[in-house]
Amino acid sequence: MSNETAVSIVIPFLNEKDGIDVLLKNIDDYYQQRKFEFEIIFVDDGSTDGTAEIIKSKTSLPYPSTLISLSKNFGAHAAVRAGFTHAKGIYATCLPADLQISFDTVERLYDSALQGNDSVYGVREVNDIGIVEKTFSRFYATMMQRYVNKDFPFKGLETVLISRKVLKVLNANVESNSSFILQILSMGFKHQFVNIEKKNRNIGRSKWTVSKKIKLFIDSFVAFSYAPIRFVTILGILLFVLGLVWSGYIVVRKILFNDIVAGWSALMSILLTGFGITNISLGIIAEYLWRTLDSSRRRPVFIIDEITELEKNG
């Protein structure tokens, strides 16, 4: 077995005092029967219950490990990004601290990566989750497929393992209020989807609140799709056309039948046409703002996957 670190495993956590000992025990057990070398990067996402202090007290961990403490709670995606910037492995991935995704998953993702894939996504297997969470997950996945990236799986993504090549691009383009998984998926490197099991949480309470789910949904659209902006423009055009059609209708009725009641019909015409022009104007302004935002992010216009020098014949 090579001593080179094959995989960097980033584990973000927030107030996991009740389950941290179980997590460390699981890492120890997996390290004893490991098939490749790995390092653990713990990222404290603003814990206030002493979880970080428990990890610091473990002075004899058998595996290479690093603890990164953030100044406050920035969110799981920001915490993973922080961990990725310190990853030394050939590949990097992330796992939740609540053990809903087991360490055996890393091995499956790693095996798929060795087949030539630069990114391997863990797709959630169907499990016993609540109706609210299942509904949100399916709605989110459907919207992502339709308006953000057609490759987004309907079952949803839980984690990803990426090569050093992908990691370098990701670390060079750190985005705030954005999904790192969607950012990686948008890069277009060779990828594979692997079904993984997501277990029920047994210790502690989930920090994945409704407000955080809503924020992720909004961030995913704002960061990777212009659909909401285009919707405003299309709505404005539809209202404007409807206003013109209605205006023509009431003029014809007035001339031919003279049965249009004065007042409300003209008001409807003005409102439809006016709101249409307003929404079209807002849409045009938003299109310029979107392009300004897209430029300010400094995302690469293209990403070179590989350069091959071809031998000259003759």
Q: How many CA atoms lie within 13 A of 23 on its CB side?
A: 26
pLDDT above 70 for 67: yes
Beta-carbon contacts of 279 under 8 Å, excluding residues fewer than 6 positions away, are: 232, 233, 235, 236, 237, 239, 240
pLDDT above 90 for 84: yes
Residue 76, beta-bridge partner list: none
More confident residue, 233 or 130: 233
Q: Supply 74's token pair.
A: 């920035």
Q: How far apart are CA 251 and CA 268, in angstroms?
A: 13
Span 287-302, pLDDT tens digits: 777 767 766 766 665 5
Span 91-108, pLDDT tens digits: 999 999 998 898 999 999
Span 41-57, pLDDT tens digits: 999 998 999 999 999 88
pLDDT above 70 for 284: yes
User: 36-40, 68-72, 118-122, 189-193: which range is least confident on average?
Assistant: 68-72
Residue 163, beta-bridge partner list: 91
Span 10-26, pLDDT tens digits: 999 999 998 999 999 99
